[in-house]
Amino acid sequence: MSTVEHATQPTSAPLAQVPVQVNLLSAAPQCQQDLLAAEVPVALVFNGISHAVMMATPQDLEAFALGFALSEGLVDAASDVYGIDVQAADTASLALPMGWHALEVHLTIATSCFERLKHRRRQLAGRTGCGVCGIDSLVALDLVSERLAPRPWTRQIDLATVLRAVDALPALQPLNAQCGALHAAAWATMDGTLMQVMEDVGRHNALDKLLGTLARSTLLDEPGFVVMTSRASHELVRKCARLGITGLATISAPTTLGVQCAEQAGLRLWGLCRSPRAVLYSAGLPCSP
């Protein structure tokens, strides 16, 4: 399937081509075609019940759904998800303008997980940057992160390693190179080599895609850390901590709550990672003896 389709047509491509007018002070306007990042509603449906609607880039949606289920604590392990099926939504029944479209990702999960999901279920209608939109009261606000198990490599995530990984990231963002609007989440080894890079219009979505991909491999059990082209919000820290990841480096700064969650979890958090400088906001756990 092509990675580029015209924006006026229903599409599940990550990029769309649109007509634009480029204006310059020193020349006449020019009409040309431009590439934009696709952003579509994606409903995550668990055992037939829609649990969340996210605005996402329609690519790697199976990994996205698995990563979301794991990082939100809806399932305990990848093995709790028995099947994932991506479908086009029935737009005839939706209040969408002509030419718009939506997708559904159907997950079949273990009965025990589904019972727990129904117990704690909340409406997450289009999560935004705050990461807690959709909860019905402050009573439902859960910001506590469990303490991570010590990892001997945590303190080895140093400045040189972090900058090596961050500097390598732009070359591994092919979609963003074309449209300039996508976040990326990457898995880096202890020498700063990037092993996996996932892109999405949403930073949470990019991370969930990465986590879903890692959960299907053995990389989560190996030394490494996450690199992201975003700020470090509390939810990104919590998602990493929930899957046992002890290191996170972001290009932009963290929020105060992001730092507090990192310190609480024992996660090593780097921010403002732009060569030749980076800031260590949370040192993480000490090395195991």
177 has a pLDDT exceeding 70: yes
40-128 and 154-282 share one fold: no
| Residues 242, 71 contacting (CB under 8 angstroms) | yes
pLDDT digit string (tens) for 40-55?
Answer: 899 999 999 998 899 9
Catalytically active residues, by annotation = 130
CATH number of 154-282: 3.40.140.10
Cα gap 77→70, rounded to integer Å: 7
pLDDT of residue 175: 95
Q: What is the mean pLDDT of the chain?
A: 85
pTM summary value: 0.87
Say what the pLDDT of residue 83 is: 97
- pLDDT, average across residues 218-223: 90
Extents of the domains making up the chain: 4-37, 40-128, 154-282
For residue 257, is pLDDT > 50?
yes
Q: Using 50, 70 and 90 to split pLDDT, how confident is the model at 12? A: confident
Looking at domain 40-128, does it have CATH number 3.10.20.10? yes
Does residue 2 register a pLDDT over 70? Answer: no
